[in-house]
């Protein structure tokens, strides 16, 4: 880019109507100095009920650091002074109220740092990273083209920085210019070779560059050279860990672990794995869990001294699986109780270290969310055991106190227990509220139906439920219209499970729902019953087309893996295979499941990430998106 000063000014001053106005006390803030920011809400955050909050993030060479900012408010303006360090390169601001984020027209609020009159080393690269992926946590959509411009400017100013980021830069370039990918990889390899093959990282870099273009022989050749030249190099870490994870014989596994533990404690290249020790140790528990040998499992936990977050997570997932099968509920209750108590303690007295990349308030919310998940499991275990009164407070705290009724699966647990403990007047209004808000499951609606019929008989039930759902739909449509996108959908061509090529071009003129998923992805699979309902609903609508893009798979035979899954679950989905993970990159997907709704003119109108646990909510949301896109 040429006009950095002009672009920076636009970021800070352009948002006068729909978004707020933000200024700084220095046009060229220096690294290590204090920066005073002033924010005046407008449009989106004007007269909001919740407070306007600030979290700021500073980017350094070793990662991102997050901090809570406490505004000073006067005359309708908010001010805060940020003290940067000499290592900071970029400041990123998250200005929000509740769920509303002021994203400055999708540009974000960025404060690049200077040394004198020049950008600090790494600043432009950090801005590129923001627009490539990091901005999504600020409600800023990925923009690889813009990211690439910043990367190019960084490397023009600091050429020595390009080599260490060469693989990620080349991957970004290939995504922006896929028709030039092979030529670009050749240039990148040539550039890397000119810099010499001095250490293990140099060989790995060449290996990874060739892998970008599926040049398997060349990639394997450099991998072999690396292994011959550095027989005890960093590459051995992955090999040894894979061998350890795959080993099923407990005695052999323990011998492998002793060797790994010794290396973690004594070798610098292994030191970063120290925080994962408890996770590795929990893998010794799987064989006992599979056999239902709970006494053996307990002895192994004590013998190996397993503690902390990984053990709590293991106990929670084990308890959930047992309650689903209604097996060994006494064991499920014991494990779930331990996990829940551990998570509760983490809220007020955390023993786990806070990651640098999240602020104290975010860390507290993360711990609260973990507790809500474990409390929900404990509540379901107690429900299965018939101990409704004991389970209800946990479900209530999880669904209502922490999650504010926004997670359908947790609402479901509360509804099951509340209907056994409370009088209808106590819980029915809450369930009705969730139907209106679109966070009720089918089971919640069944409970409401039963209560309605007890009181009124069957007559009028359909009108009652339709009225509740209508309010939810109207609110949903209003919210969706505010969040409509107008991005050109990437062009792509992929094979389906029958080997037939399907291209984006032939789908033009239809409303297209693109669902990115993988067979290993739990939330993807959890969403599929709801997706089947939507597919069935539009089965005879020639204007609407669904494609399920299987991506990020790691198995050897990806087609068979996907086909077996679809067949075994009897889903009526048109699956496309993104075996090279190219299309998922073109759509800038950061996590799955992610769904896109594309209008007849090939423009992305909606993007939906994740699954909240409600099949009915998913059907309602996608239906609304499709119908709004149809109007576009």
pLDDT in tens, 594-616: 999 999 999 999 998 888 778 88
Instruction: Report the distance separating Cα 507 and Cα 608, nearest Å.
Output: 20
Structure tokens at 450: 């039963």
Q: What pLDDT does residue 407 have?
A: 92
Q: Pick the closest to residue 442 from 476, 473, 465 (CA basis).
A: 465
- DSSP-derived 3-state class of residue 97: strand
Q: For 212-221, 261-270, 282-291, which range has the lowest pLDDT when averaged over its residues?
A: 212-221
Using a pLDDT cut of 70, give the percent of the chain over it: 97
Q: What pLDDT does residue 591 have?
A: 86
Structure tokens at 321: 């699986």
Instruction: Report the distance separating Cα 407 and Cα 401, nearest Å.
Output: 12
Using a pLDDT cut of 90, give the percent of the chain over it: 77
pLDDT at 9 > cutoff 60: no
| Residues 151/125, Cβ–Cβ less than 8 Å | yes
Instruction: Report the distance separating Cα 394 and Cα 16, nearest Å.
Output: 45
pLDDT at 461 > cutoff 60: yes
Q: What pLDDT does residue 70 have?
A: 96
Q: Pick the closest to residue 95 from 45, 43, 36 (CA basis).
A: 45
Q: What pLDDT does residue 117 have?
A: 94
The length of the chain is 632
pLDDT, tens digit, 9 for 90 and up, residues 242-255: 999 999 999 999 99
Q: How confident is the model at residue 19 (pLDDT cuts 50, 70, 90)?
A: low
| Distances from the Cα of 164 to the Cα of 58, 125, 171, 195, angstroms | 21, 12, 13, 11
Name the residue with tokens 């993030």. 57
Q: Pick the closest to residue 68 from 101, 94, 31 (CA basis).
A: 94
pLDDT at 3 > cutoff 60: no
Q: How confident is the model at residue 14 (pLDDT cuts 50, 70, 90)?
A: very low
pLDDT, tens digit, 9 for 90 and up, residues 530-588: 999 999 999 999 999 999 999 999 888 999 999 999 999 999 999 999 998 889 988 88
pLDDT average, residue stretch 445-472: 92
| Residues 107/140, Cβ–Cβ less than 8 Å | yes
| pTM for this predicted structure | 0.84
Distinct helix (H) and strand (E) counts, the chain = 26, 19
Burial of 526 (0-12, 13-18, 19+ CB in 10 A): middle
pLDDT at 447 > cutoff 90: yes
- Residue 202 backbone dihedrals phi, psi, to 5 degrees: -65, -40
pLDDT, tens digit, 9 for 90 and up, residues 128-163: 999 998 898 898 888 889 999 999 999 999 998 999
| Residues 478/466, Cβ–Cβ less than 8 Å | no
According to DSSP, the β-strands at 114-115 and 109-112 are unpaired
| Residues 341/349, Cβ–Cβ less than 8 Å | no
Which domains does the chain show, CATH number per domain? 4-155 (2.60.40.10), 173-229 (no CATH), 265-478 (no CATH), 487-631 (3.40.30.10)
| Residues 39/78, Cβ–Cβ less than 8 Å | yes
Which of 377-399 are b and which e, b meaning 16 or more Cβ less than 10 Å from the residue's Cβ? Answer: bbbbbbbbbeebebbbebbbbbb
pLDDT at 11 > cutoff 70: no
pLDDT, tens digit, 9 for 90 and up, residues 80-131: 999 999 999 999 999 999 888 999 988 999 999 999 999 999 999 999 999 9
Q: What pLDDT does residue 5 have?
A: 31
Residues ≥6 apart with Cβ < 8 Å to 631: none
Instruction: Report the distance separating Cα 598 and Cα 630, nearest Å.
Output: 9
Three-state SS annotation for 265-302? HHCHHHHHHHHHHHHHHHHHHHHHHHHCCHHHHHHHHH
Q: Pick the closest to residue 391 from 476, 323, 299 (CA basis).
A: 323
Max Cα separation, the chain? 82
pLDDT, tens digit, 9 for 90 and up, residues 347-357: 999 999 999 99
- DSSP-derived 3-state class of residue 551: coil
Q: Which residues pair with 549 in a beta bridge?
A: 516, 576
Q: How confident is the model at residue 20 (pLDDT cuts 50, 70, 90)?
A: low
pLDDT, tens digit, 9 for 90 and up, residues 51-62: 999 999 999 999
Three-state SS annotation for 449-461? HHHHHHHHCCCCH
Structure tokens at 187: 């240039």
- Residue 41 backbone dihedrals phi, psi, to 5 degrees: -65, 150
């Amino acid at each position: 880019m040429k006009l950095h000063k002009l672009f920076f000014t636009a970021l800070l001053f352009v948002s006068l109507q729909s978004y707020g106005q933000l200024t700084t006390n220095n046009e060229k803030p220096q690294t290590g100095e204090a920066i005073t920011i002033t924010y005046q809400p407008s449009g989106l955050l004007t007269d909001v009920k919740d407070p306007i909050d600030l979290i700021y993030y500073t980017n350094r060479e070793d990662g991102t650091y997050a901090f809570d900012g406490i505004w000073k408010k006067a005359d309708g303006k908010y001010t805060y002074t940020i003290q940067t360090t000499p290592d900071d390169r970029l400041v990123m601001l998250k200005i929000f109220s509740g769920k509303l984020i002021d994203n400055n027209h999708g540009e974000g609020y960025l404060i690049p740092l200077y040394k004198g009159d020049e950008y600090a080393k790494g600043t432009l690269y950090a801005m590129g990273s923001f627009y490539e992926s990091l901005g999504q946590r600020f409600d800023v959509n990925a923009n690889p083209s813009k990211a690439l411009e910043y990367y190019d400017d960084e490397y023009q100013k600091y050429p020595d920085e390009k080599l260490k980021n060469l693989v990620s830069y080349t991957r970004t370039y290939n995504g922006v210019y896929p028709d030039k990918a092979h030529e670009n990889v050749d240039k990148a390899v040539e550039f890397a070779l000119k810099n010499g093959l001095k250490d293990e990282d140099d060989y790995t870099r060449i290996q990874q560059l060739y892998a970008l273009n599926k040049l398997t022989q060349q990639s394997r050749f450099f991998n072999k050279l690396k292994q011959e030249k550095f027989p005890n190099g960093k590459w051995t870490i992955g090999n040894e860990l894979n061998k350890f994870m795959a080993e099923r014989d407990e005695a052999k596994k323990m011998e492998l672990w002793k060797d790994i533990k010794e290396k973690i404690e004594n070798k610098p290249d292994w030191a970063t794995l120290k925080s994962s020790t408890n996770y590795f140790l929990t893998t010794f528990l799987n064989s006992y869990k599979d056999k239902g040998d709970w006494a053996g499992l307990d002895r192994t936990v004590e013998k190996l001294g397993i503690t902390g977050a990984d053990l709590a997570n293991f106990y929670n997932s084990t308890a959930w699986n047992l309650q689903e099968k209604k097996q060994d509920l006494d064991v499920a209750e014991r494990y779930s109780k331990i996990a829940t108590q551990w998570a509760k303690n983490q809220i007020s007295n955390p023993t786990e270290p806070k990651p640098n990349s999240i602020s104290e308030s975010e860390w507290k919310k993360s711990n609260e969310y973990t507790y809500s998940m474990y409390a929900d499991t404990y509540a379901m275990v107690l429900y299965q055991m018939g101990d409704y009164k004991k389970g209800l407070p946990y479900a209530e705290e999880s669904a209502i106190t922490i999650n504010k009724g926004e997670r359908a699966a947790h609402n479901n647990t509360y509804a099951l227990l509340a209907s056994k403990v409370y009088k209808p007047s106590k819980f029915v209004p809450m369930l009705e509220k969730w139907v209106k808000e679109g966070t009720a499951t089918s089971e919640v609606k069944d409970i409401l139906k039963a209560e309605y019929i007890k009181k009124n008989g069957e007559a009028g039930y359909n009108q009652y439920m339709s009225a509740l759902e209508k309010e939810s739909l109207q609110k949903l449509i209003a919210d969706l219209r505010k969040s409509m996108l107008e991005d050109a959908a990437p062009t792509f061509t992929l094979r389906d499970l029958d080997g037939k090529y399907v291209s984006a071009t032939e789908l033009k003129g239809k409303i297209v729902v693109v669902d990115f998923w993988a067979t290993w992805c739990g939330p993807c699979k959890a969403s599929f019953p709801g997706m089947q309902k939507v597919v069935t609903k539009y089965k005879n609508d020639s204007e609407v087309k669904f494609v399920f893009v299987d991506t990020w798979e790691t198995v050897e035979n990806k087609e068979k893996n996907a086909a077996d899954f679809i067949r075994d679950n009897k889903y009526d989905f048109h699956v496309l295979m993104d075996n090279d993970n190219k299309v998922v990159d073109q759509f800038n997907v950061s996590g799955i499941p992610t769904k896109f709704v594309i209008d007849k003119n090939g423009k992305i109108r909606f993007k939906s990430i994740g699954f909240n646990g409600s099949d009915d909510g998913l059907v309602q949301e996608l239906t609304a998106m499709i119908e709004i896109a149809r109007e576009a």
